[in-house]
Structure 1
Amino acid sequence: MSSDITYSDSGVDIDKAEEAVQRLIPHAQSTFRKEVLSEVGGFGSVVALPEGYKEPVLVSGNDGAGTKTVVAKNLGKYDTIGIDVVAMCVDDIVTSGAEPLFFLDQLTVGKVDPQIIEQLVIGFAKGCIDAGCALTGGEIAEHPDTMDEDDFDVAGFAVGVAERDDLPDKSSVVKGDVLIGLASPGLRCNGYSLARRVLMDGRPLDQPAWSGADVSLGEELLRPSVIYAPAVLSAFRQYEVHAAAHITGGGLAGNLKRVIGDQVDIGLDVQRWRRPKIFEQIAIEGPVSEVEMRNVFNLGIGMVLAVPSDQIDEIINLADTNGHEAWAIGQVTEGRGQVRWMDQ
């Protein structure tokens, strides 16, 4: 007579999942703001609105780390990829002038390994601390038969709060505005399918990223995303920011088009900022054309602010105070809602 089949026999281990939850609780709690009213492990996160807002509105954003997870898996290093997910989410919502309030993660795995889960959550917690938001919960989903046991994917969403009257509008971007670009030292989370195709096609990850590099290829590809939210939020609160664009998939031109109206154009001067070496390496080894590089990658600019021309120095100094190198990289002219490169 055959024995009963259990959930564990089917590939889902409830006990391991519970162990993973217990491991992550202190990391999540380390991020809590005073507005958090619930505990980790409940059915829903309960968070109060911060004081001081006259007419608060909620701003939400959802994202993941793309195929950067492949690099983490190949290196067996899981404690930074969560930073990337938080960065993708909070840096989206801060473009609306929103203060990141709380974040929830989604971990999907082929098989629960409590140690790896804890490492992933360490990254989420670090990202939340850097962003000033609370990690209030999430989901661990074990997907046997649909994923290999060592496969995983990460995603999350952030919720922030903004003053309704202060929300930026496309019509705010006017002729004469200047674009301030905040530096991105690496790829962040975008273009990894192309970058991996070029750089990881049989090449060991422990080799130098390029000739003379002080980091390995694996270290460079897993470089955590910069989190811009605190600096951008300060800029919105202290200065006249007409728009902010988070430079993700679609590159500079694709994302800047999302924040301007039909009455203006943007001109970008590629000579005005320093392009990190990793982008040159991808272009050379591919080879990948300059047109494709501009369409896919951030090319060293992770966030752009459109501001009046008399605030250039103040915004650049603010960025520097927050640890971000910044440059005036373009200008707004009369036009029809297009973004163009000045060298073309």
Structure 2
Amino acid sequence: MASYKESGVDVEEGYRAVNKYKEHAKRTAIPGLLTGLGSFNGMFEVPKGYKNPVIVSGTDGVGTKLDIAFKMRKYDTVGIDCVAMSVNDILCSGVQTSFFLDYVACGKLDADIASDLVKGVADGCVDAGCALLGGETAEMPDFYDDGKYDLAGFGVGIGEKKEMITGENIKENDTLIGLSSNGVHSNGFSLVRKLVKNVNEPFIIDGKDTGKTIGEILLTPTRIYVKPVMEVLGKYRKAINGMVHITGGGFYENIPRMYPKAKEGKKQLISVIKRDSWDIPPVFGELIKRGADLDSIYNTFNMGIGMLLAVNSKYADAVLEMFNANAHKYHKDYCPDMKAYKIGYVAYSKGEVKSQQDSVLFED
């Protein structure tokens, strides 16, 4: 007679993992949370005061950045990436995420590694101001290689319908304000992994050793923009006409997504980006040195801008000043102070927009 444990699933290790998860989840409790981890479902109460509430959701995973974590044997930051990818997407509608759920899958469960993954998720939830409502851990022997994990999740936020940021109000001459990334974030790692064979190499900038390995630099978790953006929206929501989370596909795939669809026969709104208007993190220079294609790099990476806002030009200076004045409040050891830059403006296309490259123009 074969037991479940003999088939490769250790339920006792699963219980140990869940007990560790519960300690991490406690740190994320916020008003509205009605259940803790361990129930068959999670419950969250819709706050009072909404006249026409809209539910906004987003889902994503960490992707092949996990391979860097496996090689470095460092598992406590990729959970932040998992949260960031969803909460930053939800933020593009002007909504703060209320709760988050995660999914951890592996071939053979190690409660300590799984706990580190969920610790990162909890850290991300704290940074985003949302509750870790629940999740699932799936142990699937012979399906995943031993030592390999997958990590994904989704978030849900609640907003007032009339306050949704949809892009419909974007107009010609709106100012494009970019919020700095702190590195590669969590996209483009299929290319990164081809360019970086040894994650333990020292990371050198201008001939000087930074004291970190390139693997440590690559594991810098995705910046979570929720708190600084929500603070600005609290004062200037009517001036923010569109928002973009720059993820996979870089500038060319993501920025056009914030514009309303052009009507047939009409000119289309496009983004004009000013070169050299922001600081590009050194890690991108390193990837270029290692062979990243210059012609497609803005179609792969965020290149130092993780979030972009289309702002009524009348209020652009005030919005920029508020972002930069408050950036120190959101400083984390793993996430240096965010900076905001004017990186361009909105214009009308001169002719028909036939490709994504026609939607984002760079000028000197």
TM-score range, shorter chain: over 0.9
**SS of structure 1 residue aligned to 2:105:** strand
Specify the SS of the correspondent of 2:360: strand
Q: Residue 362 of structure 2 aligns with which residue? A: 342
In structure 1, give the amino acid aligned to 2:272: G
Is contact 2:188–2:248 with CA below 8 Å preserved after alignment? yes
Aligned to 2:335: none
Residues 246, 341 of structure 1: CA spacing in aligned structure 2 closer, same or farther, 3 A cutoff?
Answer: same
Aligned with residue 156 of structure 2, among 146, 151, 159:
159
Q: Is the 8 A contact 1:181 1:329 kept in 2?
A: yes
Residue 237 of structure 2 corresponds to residue 205 of structure 1: no
For the residue of structure 1 that corresponds to 2:222, the secondary structure is coil
Which residue number corresponds to residue 296 of structure 1?
300
Question: Would you say 1:55 and 2:52 are equivalent positions?
Answer: yes
Equivalent position of 1:249 in the other structure: 248
1:22 aligns with 2:22: no
For 2:154 and 2:122, the matched residues in 1 are separated by: 13
Give 1:204 deviation, angstroms: 4.6
Once the two structures are superposed, what CA deviation does each residue of 1:52-71 show, in whole Å capped at 9, x if it has no partner?
Answer: 32211110000011111001
One-letter amino acid matched to 2:308 = V
**What is the alpha-carbon distance in structure 1 between the residues aligned to residue 363 and residue 314 of structure 2?**
25
Specify the code of the residue in structure 2 equivalent to 1:264: L
Would the aligned equivalents of 1:272 and 1:329 in 2 still touch at CA under 8 Å?
Answer: yes
Per the alignment, residue 280 of structure 2 pairs with 275
Aligned-residue offset at 1:284? 1.4
Paired with 2:80 and 2:107, the residues of 1 have a C-alpha distance of: 21
Alpha-carbon distance in 2 for matches of 1:13, 1:209: 44
Give CA deviations for 1:191-229 in whole Å, capped at 9, x if unaligned: 011011102x2x252422554241211110101111001
Q: Does the residue aligned with 1:242 lie in a helix, a strand or coil?
A: strand
Q: Which runs of 5+ in 1 are unaligned?
A: none
- Residue number in structure 1 paired with 2:82: 85
Q: Is the 8 A contact 1:247 1:298 kept in 2?
A: yes
| Counterpart-to-counterpart distance in 2, 1:149 and 1:182 | 39
Question: Structure 2: how far apart are the matches of 1:290 and 1:238?
Answer: 39
Partner of 1:175: 172
**TM-score for the superposition, normalised by structure 1:** 0.95
1: CA distance between counterparts of 2:252 and 2:321?
25
Identify if the C-alpha distance between structure 1 residues 191 and 265 changes in structure 2 by more than 3 Å, giving closer, same or farther.
same
The more displaced of 163-172 and 315-324 is 315-324
Taking the aligned partners of 1:204 and 1:315, their CA distance within structure 2 comes to: 39
The count of residues paired between Structure 1 and Structure 2 equals 338
Over 3 Å counting, the alpha-carbon distance change for 1:204 and 1:271 in structure 2 is closer
Per-residue CA deviation, residues 36-92 of structure 1 (Å, 9 max, x unaligned), is 011211111100112332211110000011111001111111111100111101000
Overall identity of the aligned pairs, in %: 38
- In the TM superposition, what is the alpha-carbon distance from 1:273 to its structure 2 partner? 0.7
1:11 aligns with 2:16: no
Shift of 1:317: 2.3
- Do the aligned partners of 2:94 and 2:165 also contact (CA within 8 Å) in 1? yes
Aligned CA-pair RMSD: 1.5
Which piece of structure 1 moves more, 150-159 or 304-313? 304-313
Q: How far apart, CA to CA, are the structure 2 residues paired with 1:51 and 1:252?
A: 38
Q: TM-score, normalised by structure 2?
A: 0.90
Give the CA deviation at 1:95.
Answer: 0.5
Q: Which one-letter code corresponds to 2:246 in the other structure?
A: I
Question: Does 2:91 align with 1:94?
Answer: yes
Partner of 1:322: 327
Extract unaligned runs of 5+ from structure 2. 263-267, 329-337
Corresponding residue for 1:192?
189
**Map of 1:237 onto structure 2:** 234
Deviation at 1:22, TM superposition (A): 0.7
State the distance in 1 between where 2:300 and 2:245 align.
14
Secondary structure (helix, strand or coil) at the match of 1:272 reads coil
SS of 2:248's equivalent?
A: coil
Whether the 8 Å CA contact 1:59–1:159 is kept in 2: the answer is yes
Query: Alpha-carbon deviation of 1:99?
Result: 1.6
Q: CA deviation at 1:114?
A: 0.7
Q: Is the 8 A contact 1:33 1:134 kept in 2?
A: yes
2:312 corresponds to 1:308:
yes
- 1:305-344 deviations in Å (ceiling 9; x for gaps): 0001122222222222134201011110123665223249
Q: Are 2:106 and 1:103 aligned?
A: no
Deviation of 1:270 after TM superposition, in Å, equals 2.3
